Structure 1
Amino acid sequence: MQPKYKMIYDELKEAISEGEYGPGAKLPDEITLCQIYACSRMTVKKALDILVEEGLIYRKQGQGSFVLNKAMSTAPYQYEEFPIGGFDRSRHDEVESKILEFKLSFASKEVAHALHLKENEPVYDILRLRLYDHEPYVIEHTYMPVSLIPGITEDVLNRSIYAYIEHDLNMHIASAQQTSRADISNEQDHEVLGLKAIEPVLEVEQIAYLDNGIPFEYSFSRHRFDKFKFTSFSLRR
């Protein structure tokens, strides 16, 4: 007989996959789930923790658990592309960051939706050029909630935001949802990345999540077509 938490997890996951709980839908609260399954709150919490770790739901303090937009994917394969954080630091190349723009702005409707914020909440608006061995590789445009990730400075941007989040703020980065697409290079790509007008870029849209399921980053990275590659693997469900 399987453990009770596994049964709760399986049934909630199936309900999410079949659309009973659609993107953004709120799951029953922990007390209600305890009553439904005649179990302890610790058992329910364990089931919900697994759903958070798998990127199916996220929690809002004092409000409950909600289904992530990406949880509704029904494709027969899942693809994992690009290391979280953009660059594989296991390589021996020298990685540099050049700040092109750094300001506070108010979340647009699109940014607010991606980061689960209210429209016009303050966000960091960061534009950086990333270089390998002094060569321009990618332009990153990043939005982060000021309330969730306090204290970002130019010094942090010149090093690693992710290291700052994990080491200084003691938060754990867990997962990212990424969408890649080909695009025609624009004037900024020509000027900053050194591309010609007819050359393309690969744009990667990313929403990154902490281990509690809360999104902390919404970004667009525009990569040089001739200096970027990705490796994927697939898992049959």
Structure 2
Amino acid sequence: MAESKTDLIAQDIASKIKHGQFKSHEFLPSENQLTTLYGTSRETIRKALDQLNSLGLIQKIKGKGSLVLNLEKYSFPISGITSFSELNKSLGMKAQTKLLKLEKCDDLPQIFKDNFPEQDKQAGFYLRRLRLINGEPEVLDCDYLFNPPIDTLPREAAEHSIYEYFEKKLNLDISYATKTITVEKINHELQDILQLSNSTAVLVASRNFLNDTSLFQLTLSFHNPKKFRFVDFARRRKIKL
């Protein structure tokens, strides 16, 4: 499916931020200037800026414009379900994925049992992928994909985007996730894979569900704590007492 003009503009601005054309702690050109620069409508520009705002790349300040935030760390949204390949494209990280493991299992590997002790025995696929940015290992994703609903997982899909494969080939309706973020001590194997100088990593553990509320995926995502920050958007809601 072709990308929308909004997505392409958001990606181009993100790339300019990353390469210093739009510098941190400075304002982006005005919406009118961006409209002229990209030859599009103001509504399209606003939608592109909303994407960048939700990713933590800019802060929209009423009456002043869009301030570029510090991009020393990559920003990962807490809310929603966004694949690494989608973030890679949005943030212009030029990341690579190295497939370390793809195997079919009769039960959860121990690493998932340790982090999801309530989970019952179920067959599935164990997927382990290392994410490299600028040639350096930054994220280790460990996924357990239940069978059913996932009965096959080609190597090509595992190396590229499993969500694209699930949605376009298997017609799965991915809906929501519950996530827990902790700072954990990891074993020497994971420390060596991520090339960390100490045994501490940020762990994002998530349980991912389809629209019919069925659990289809468990994910353990180990992050280099020096390279990433996690962002969310919250709106004040007044509750009448």
- Quickly name the TM-score band, shorter chain normalised: 0.5 to 0.7
Q: 1:38 matched to which residue of 2? A: none
Whether contact under 8 Å (2:174, 2:211) holds in the other structure is yes
Task: Specify the code of the residue in structure 1 equivalent to 2:212.
Answer: N
- After TM superposition, the structure 1 stretch with the greater mean CA deviation from structure 2, 151-160 or 130-139, is 130-139
Separation of aligned partners in 2, 1:144 and 1:162: 11
Q: 1:128 deviation in Å?
A: 1.2
Identity of counterpart residues, as a percentage?
Answer: 24
TM-score after normalising by structure 1: 0.58
Q: 1:216 to 1:188 in 2, by over 3 A?
A: same
Task: Specify the code of the residue in structure 2 equivalent to 1:98.
Answer: K
Separation of aligned partners in 2, 1:141 and 1:117: 16
Q: 1:165 deviation in Å?
A: 0.5
Task: Specify the code of the residue in structure 1 equivalent to 2:202.
Answer: L
Q: 1:205 deviation in Å?
A: 0.3
Q: 2:201 matched to which residue of 1? A: 201
Q: 1:140 deviation in Å?
A: 1.1
Q: May I ask how many residue pairs the two structures share in their alignment? A: 155
Q: 1:190 to 1:117 in 2, by over 3 A?
A: closer
Q: 1:190 deviation in Å?
A: 2.6
Q: 1:183 deviation in Å?
A: 1.1
Q: Secondary structure at the match of 1:220?
A: strand
Q: How does 1:26-41 map to 2 (within 5 A)?
A: none
Q: How does 1:1-237 map to 2 (within 5 A)?
A: 81=78, 84-87=81-84, 88=87, 89-108=89-108, 119=121, 121-197=122-198, 200-235=200-235, 236=237
Separation of aligned partners in 1, 2:164 and 2:172: 10
Separation of aligned partners in 2, 1:150 and 1:185: 31
Q: 1:100 deviation in Å?
A: 1.3
Separation of aligned partners in 1, 2:196 and 2:120: 37
Whether contact under 8 Å (2:181, 2:205) holds in the other structure is yes
Q: 1:181 deviation in Å?
A: 0.2
TM-score after normalising by structure 2: 0.57
TM superposition outliers: structure 1 runs of 4+ over 3 Å: 108-111
Q: 1:62 matched to which residue of 2? A: none
| Structure 1 residues without counterparts, runs of 5 or longer | 1-79
Separation of aligned partners in 1, 2:126 and 2:120: 16
Q: Secondary structure at the match of 1:98?
A: strand
Q: Secondary structure at the match of 2:104?
A: strand
Whether contact under 8 Å (2:83, 2:163) holds in the other structure is no
Task: Specify the code of the residue in structure 2 equivalent to 1:228.
Answer: F
Whether contact under 8 Å (1:97, 1:157) holds in the other structure is no
Task: Specify the code of the residue in structure 2 equivalent to 1:152.
Answer: L
Q: 1:195 to 1:107 in 2, by over 3 A?
A: same
| Structure 2 residues without counterparts, runs of 5 or longer | 1-76
